[in-house]
Amino acid sequence: MEKRSIAWWKRASVYQIYPLSFQDSNGDGIGDIPGILSRLDHLQTLGIDVIWLSPVFTSPMKDNGYDISDYSSIHPWFGTKEDLKKLVDAVHARGMKIISDIVLNHTSDQHPWFIDAINNPKSPYRDYYIFRKQPNDIQSVFSGPAWSKVPNRDEYYFHFFAKEQPDLNWQNPQLRQTLYRLLKDWLAFGFDGFRLDVIDLIGKDIDAKRIGCGPHYQTHLEELKTWVFHDDNLFTVGELSGSTPSQASLVTGGPPEGVFSMAFQFSHLALDEQPQLGKWALRPLQLKEMQATFQALDDVFSQRGWNALFMGNHDQPRSLSRYGSPQYHYQSQTMLFLAFFGQRGTPFIYQGEEIGMMNYPFTSLHEFRDIESIQYYQHTIGQQSHEQIMQSLKAKSRDNARTPMQWNDQPFAGFSSHSPWLPVHPLFREYNVEKDRHASYSIQHFLSAFLMFRKHQDVFIDGTLHYRTFHEKIYAYERRNHKTSILILTSFSEQPITLHFPDAEDWTPILTNDNHVKLTKEMELPPFFGGMYQRK
Q: What is the DSSP letter of 405?
A: P
CB of 57 to Ca ion, least distance (A): 16
Please choose, from the candidates 461, 230, 216, 246, the residue with its C-alpha nearest in 3D space to the C-alpha of residue 343: 461
Inter-axis angle of helices 371-380 and 386-396, nearest 10: 160
Q: Which residues pair with 282 in a beta bridge?
A: 273
Residue 30, contacted partner among Ca ion, ligand TEU, none, CB below 5-8 A by kind: Ca ion
Residue 32, contacted partner among ligand TEU, Ca ion, none, CB below 5-8 A by kind: Ca ion
Residue 370, contacted partner among Ca ion, ligand TEU, none, CB below 5-8 A by kind: none
CB of 498 to ligand TEU, least distance (A): 38
Q: Count CA atoms closer than 13 A to 161's CA, side-chain side.
A: 24
Q: How, if at all, do strands 147-149 and 156-158 pair?
A: antiparallel
Contact residues: ligand TEU, CB under 6 A: 63, 66, 103, 141, 161, 197-198, 239, 241, 279, 314-315, 372, 398
Residue 279, contacted partner among Ca ion, ligand TEU, none, CB below 5-8 A by kind: ligand TEU
CB of 493 to Ca ion, least distance (A): 42
**Judged by CB, which is closer to ligand TEU: 241, or 351?**
241
Three-state DSSP at 440 gives: coil
Which amino acid is residue 518, in one-letter code? K
Which residues make Cβ contacts (< 8 Å) with residue 149, sequence separation at least 6? 155, 156
CB of 447 to ligand TEU, least distance (A): 23
Q: Which residues pair with 195 in a beta bridge?
A: 101, 237
CB of 206 to Ca ion, least distance (A): 39
Q: Using CA atoms, how far apart are residues 102 and 68, in angstroms rounded to an integer? A: 9
CB of 55 to Ca ion, least distance (A): 16
CB of 28 to Ca ion, least distance (A): 4
Q: DSSP H helical segments within 344-465, as ranges?
A: 371-380, 386-396, 433-437, 443-455, 459-462
CB of 403 to ligand TEU, least distance (A): 16
Query: Residue 362 in contact with residue 29, Cβ under 8 Å?
Result: no
Query: Residue 438 in contact with residue 34, Cβ under 8 Å?
Result: no
Query: Residue 26 in contact with residue 34, Cβ under 8 Å?
Result: yes
Inter-axis angle of helices 81-93 and 173-189, nearest 10: 60
CB of 122 to ligand TEU, least distance (A): 30
**Judged by CB, which is closer to ligand TEU: 166, or 414?**
166
Which residues make Cβ contacts (< 8 Å) with residue 530, sequence separation at least 6? 331, 334, 335, 336, 337, 338, 339, 489, 490, 491, 512, 513
Contact residues: Ca ion, CB under 5 A: 24, 26, 28, 30, 32
Residue 18, contacted partner among ligand TEU, Ca ion, none, CB below 5-8 A by kind: none
Residue 66, contacted partner among ligand TEU, Ca ion, none, CB below 5-8 A by kind: ligand TEU
**Judged by CB, which is closer to ligand TEU: 104, or 357?**
104
**Torsions phi, psi of 422, nearest 5?**
-125, 145
Residue 164, contacted partner among ligand TEU, Ca ion, none, CB below 5-8 A by kind: none
Name the active-site residue from 24, 167, 200, 239: 239
**Judged by CB, which is closer to ligand TEU: 365, or 523?**
365
Name the active-site residue from 32, 67, 164, 197: 197
Query: Burial code of 491-500, b = ≥16 C-beta within 10 A, e = fewer?
Result: bbbeeebebe
**Judged by CB, which is closer to Ca ion: 32, or 436?**
32
User: Given CA atoms 68, 74, 78, 83 in this order, what sign does their dihedral have?
Assistant: positive
**Judged by CB, which is closer to ligand TEU: 97, or 279?**
279
Residue 49, contacted partner among Ca ion, ligand TEU, none, CB below 5-8 A by kind: none
**Judged by CB, which is closer to ligand TEU: 141, or 228?**
141
The length of the chain in residues reads 536
Three-state DSSP at 135 gives: coil
**Judged by CB, which is closer to ligand TEU: 316, or 490?**
316
Residue 372, contacted partner among Ca ion, ligand TEU, none, CB below 5-8 A by kind: ligand TEU
Query: How far, in whole angstroms, is CA 158 from its chain's centroid?
Result: 25
- Opening angle at CA 338, ends 509 and 478, nearest 5: 65
**Judged by CB, which is closer to ligand TEU: 315, or 354?**
315
For 336-376, give the DSSP string.
Answer: HHHHHHTSSSEEEEETTGGGT-------SGGG---HHHHHH
Q: Would you call 239 a catalytic residue per the annotation?
A: yes
Three-state DSSP at 210 gives: strand
Kindly list the catalytic residues: 197, 239
